[in-house]
Structure 1
Amino acid sequence: MLATAVALLAAGCGGAGRLSGTGGDCDTSRGTLVVGLVAPLSGELSSVGLGMKNSADLAVTQANARCAVPGYHLAVQSQDDRADPATGAAAAATLARDPSIVGVLGPFNSSVAQAVQPVLGEAGVVQISPGSTATTLTRGANAVTAPLRQYQTFFRTVATDAVQGPAAATYLTRAEDKRRVAVVSDGKTYGEGIAEEFAKQLVTEGGEVAARISAPPGGDRARVVAAVAAASPDAVFYGGEYPEGGPLSAALAAAGVRVPVMGGDGVVNPGYVTAGGREGDLGTSVGPPPETLPAAREFVDAYRQAGYPEAIGSYGAFTFDAANVLIDSAVRTLGEDRDWSAALRPEMVRAVQGFHGDGITGPLSFDRFGDVSTDAVTIYRVQGGQWSVVGPAD
């Protein structure tokens, strides 16, 4: 259902005839349903957040064009979290107070997700993140020995760091023969989580953590560079995001530490290269490259035709899928003749939990923790001043 939706941006509705300008005439006599979005729409990570916002808008535009929810018009209400947990929590509270909200997409940052989860969980609002990958968000602090799903309302369409971190370590040791690695992380939820997962797998692969270094954003980069240099590693793994990862790579090279830097999906962004990322640096990202999937190519074409000024970004496709899961779940919750009310929020949660379908990023379903069932990871390398696909992690 989701894949076929991509081609329907300009399709007609053929309904009872109430709303024009959406590709046809639809009966919208029951009002408007709102899809909320919490993402970094300003600041250093705005290129990610704006791609998420536009992708959600595209999914909703297509849904309106095909009169997806009988009797209703769909609208996106976006909130800027500025990549800040407190701001994200306030944004989630604003959305949760709206009785027309059927669900919330986002956020991107795992640290923001930690703050948003309890707000939406208490309100019973289903939440699907297309970018928060910290394993603890769904499985708690003891993900292996005693996994615990604290928030039944939280789901995600991206694989966790428990998949991505080990994939990076396996690739670096086996394909690149880099076994002595300095592990640097930014101290935030995402960065610490993926760094720890990487370090555990590195040891399993017979490698060695040459140094474990904390590098909070805005901190003393010279100290970090000196610590890495003293460890004499074969490579550096950075747990964090591109605004800090790119300058770290440049600073290491300037100090004569010319080993490759590898990171997770937080660094696989054009901003990493413009901020100082070097040729040969490596990264992982969840899912296959969108351009390799037929349905995703249709999404990319529809996005371009829609004329959004910002790029799709690394998480646009996952946001598009998440939005369509919400829309499909609303259709199943309401059926042909039910009126929406906040009292139906628990049914929306159950509908998402039971979802099975084909998205543009691959098959979509959720396990008992709310994690997506697919676990594909792609390896990227900086070549010719941009991220290029190396291939699947396996």
Structure 2
Amino acid sequence: MGDLTGENSGIVIPPKQGAQMAIDEYNATNPKVKITLKPYDTQGKPEQATGLAQQAIKNDKIAGLIGPAFSGESQSVGPVLEEGKIPSISPSATNVTLAEKGWKYWHRGLADDSVQGAGVAEFIAGALKAKKAFVIHDNQDYSKGLADVVTQTLKGKGVNVQNDIVDTKGTDYSSTVNKVKPFAPDAVFFGGYYAQGGRLLKQLREGGVTAKFLSGDGSLDGGLIKGAGASNAKDTFISCPCLIDPTGKANAASKKFADAYKAKFNADPAIYSAEGYDVAQVFVAAVKAGKTSTEDINEFLKTVDIPGVTKQMKFGENGEVTATDVYIYQAEGDKLPLLGNSKDATVG
């Protein structure tokens, strides 16, 4: 469940494909119980997601949900899934408050924005040695939450920070550019998604802002560079609690996954491809263990502890995955290759 045809579908189609790959691999073994993956296209709209969730439960009788992809739609769909007793694992929603609802059927397969925000702020203050930073967000659940953590962490490290909010539906960011330029920051961080981030970066560069540009996982897509222009994307860094590692820089499993993914989809893995795969593998493991009812699958998720491509798949009592790695990606031409773990990534 997620935005499969909307403006930010580029960060939802990859995990959908990763999940499809895991389920296809399982079904190819000709098991007694096969799994069907049914897509629900929310177009990133929380109100649309709610209706689709109700349909999925009442009409389609789903046994589990991969998603919702975004934090805003997760906030809306969570209560529906709780009432329907449907176990869910999001491969991409990172807002901190999702784990604070007391939901019993909700899980996510990557670290939240408190972890990501702290990780990228450490990188800004440490590897980039920034003394002044300008933090911008578009006031959506995900964007604001991530930007707030970045701001707080940077201030705690003695970095001088200024902030601004942009309209999520806006396309002219001149008022923000006019605030950023006289401040002359060493780094600009944007909390939001790649379509808007690309436009913002383009206008910052055209307005004479030369600071290093950073954003979170919502911007980890080639659409950011396309929107900004490759020359404008120089000195751009994107953080993500996700692993895109086609060369096997982080581990051998990610190289094996990347090769299989490319063979199946004729494309390199992208943001959340591997997380979608890992999350689906958790549901596969449940079915392999004979857990096919929603209640039995949810009980299985409390004890699951299996190696994934991106991390060990194990959940805490609040549904949070226990692994906490954050990775940094650096723009090179029209690509965003892995630079390294935020804890030790260095810039030449």
Same structural fold, with TM-score higher than 0.5 when normalized by the shorter chain: yes
Kindly state the Cα deviation for residue 137 of structure 1 after the two structures are TM-superposed: 0.5
CA contact (8 A) 2:33 2:287 kept: no
CA contact (8 A) 2:215 2:239 kept: yes
Pick from 76, 92, 115: which aligns with 1:115? 76
Q: Does 1:317 align with 2:278?
A: no
Instruction: Report what 2:13 is aligned to.
Output: 50
Q: Does 1:124 align with 2:76?
A: no
Q: Distance in 1 between matches of 2:128 and 2:238?
A: 13
* Residue ranges of structure 1 left out of the alignment (5+ in a row): 1-37, 140-148, 335-339
Instruction: Report what 1:273 is aligned to.
Output: 225
Q: What residue identity is the alignment partner of 1:330?
A: V
Instruction: Report what 2:205 is aligned to.
Output: 253
Q: Distance in 1 between matches of 2:153 and 2:74?
A: 25
CA contact (8 A) 1:102 1:330 kept: no
Cα 1:303/1:288, change in 2 over 3 Å: closer
TM alignment of 1:204-219, pairs within 5 A: 204-209=156-161, 211-219=162-170
Instruction: Report what 2:129 is aligned to.
Output: 177
Pick from 300, 308, 319: which aligns with 1:370? 319
Kindly state the Cα deviation for residue 309 of structure 1 after the two structures are TM-superposed: 5.8
Q: Deviations over 1:50-96 (max 9, x none)?
A: 2222222111111111234xx32211100101011111111211111
Kindly state the Cα deviation for residue 48 of structure 1 after the two structures are TM-superposed: 2.0
Instruction: Report what 2:50 is aligned to.
Output: 89
Instruction: Report what 2:252 is aligned to.
Output: 294
Q: Distance in 1 between matches of 2:332 and 2:155?
A: 28
Alignment TM-score, normalising by the size of structure 1: 0.82
Q: Distance in 2 between matches of 1:278 and 1:224?
A: 18
Cα 1:271/1:365, change in 2 over 3 Å: same
Q: Distance in 2 between matches of 1:213 and 1:137?
A: 24
Cα 1:54/1:287, change in 2 over 3 Å: closer
TM alignment of 1:62-77, pairs within 5 A: 62-68=25-31, 71-77=32-38
Q: What residue identity is the alignment partner of 1:125?
A: I
Bigger mean CA deviation after superposition, 320-329 or 46-55: 46-55
Superposed CA RMSD in Å reads 1.6
Q: Which has the higher strand share?
A: 1
Instruction: Report what 1:35 is aligned to.
Output: none
Say which SS state the counterpart of residue 154 (structure 2) adopts. Answer: helix
Q: Does 1:196 align with 2:196?
A: no
Q: Distance in 2 between matches of 1:360 and 1:309?
A: 19
Say which SS state the counterpart of residue 104 (structure 2) adopts. Answer: coil
Cα 1:218/1:99, change in 2 over 3 Å: closer
Q: Distance in 2 between matches of 1:305 and 1:283?
A: 27
CA contact (8 A) 1:47 1:310 kept: no
Pick from 29, 46, 61: which aligns with 2:24? 61
Q: What residue identity is the alignment partner of 1:45?
A: N
Instruction: Point out the structure with max Rg over C-alpha.
Output: 1
Instruction: Report what 1:102 is aligned to.
Output: 63
CA contact (8 A) 1:50 1:310 kept: no
Kindly state the Cα deviation for residue 357 of structure 1 after the two structures are TM-superposed: 0.7
Say which SS state the counterpart of residue 368 (structure 1) adopts. Answer: coil
Instruction: Report what 1:29 is aligned to.
Output: none
Structure 1 runs (4+) deviating above 6 angstroms are none
Alignment TM-score, normalising by the size of structure 2: 0.92
Pick from 351, 354, 358: which aligns with 2:300? 351
Q: Distance in 2 between matches of 1:76 and 1:60?
A: 7
Say which SS state the counterpart of residue 328 (structure 2) adopts. Answer: strand
Kindly state the Cα deviation for residue 133 of structure 1 after the two structures are TM-superposed: 0.6
TM alignment of 1:224-235, pairs within 5 A: 224-235=176-187
What is the aligned length? Answer: 336
Kindly state the Cα deviation for residue 384 of structure 1 after the two structures are TM-superposed: 2.7
Kindly state the Cα deviation for residue 383 of structure 1 after the two structures are TM-superposed: 2.1
Cα 1:261/1:365, change in 2 over 3 Å: same
Q: Does 1:133 align with 2:91?
A: no
Kindly state the Cα deviation for residue 327 of structure 1 after the two structures are TM-superposed: 1.6
Q: Does 1:285 align with 2:240?
A: yes
Q: Distance in 2 between matches of 1:356 and 1:191?
A: 31
Kindly state the Cα deviation for residue 236 of structure 1 after the two structures are TM-superposed: 0.8
* Residue ranges of structure 2 left out of the alignment (5+ in a row): 344-348
Q: Distance in 1 between matches of 2:308 and 2:339?
A: 23
Instruction: Report what 2:192 is aligned to.
Output: 240
Q: Deviations over 1:149-206 (max 9, x none)?
A: 4211110111111111011111111111112111100111110011011011101111
Cα 1:44/1:99, change in 2 over 3 Å: closer
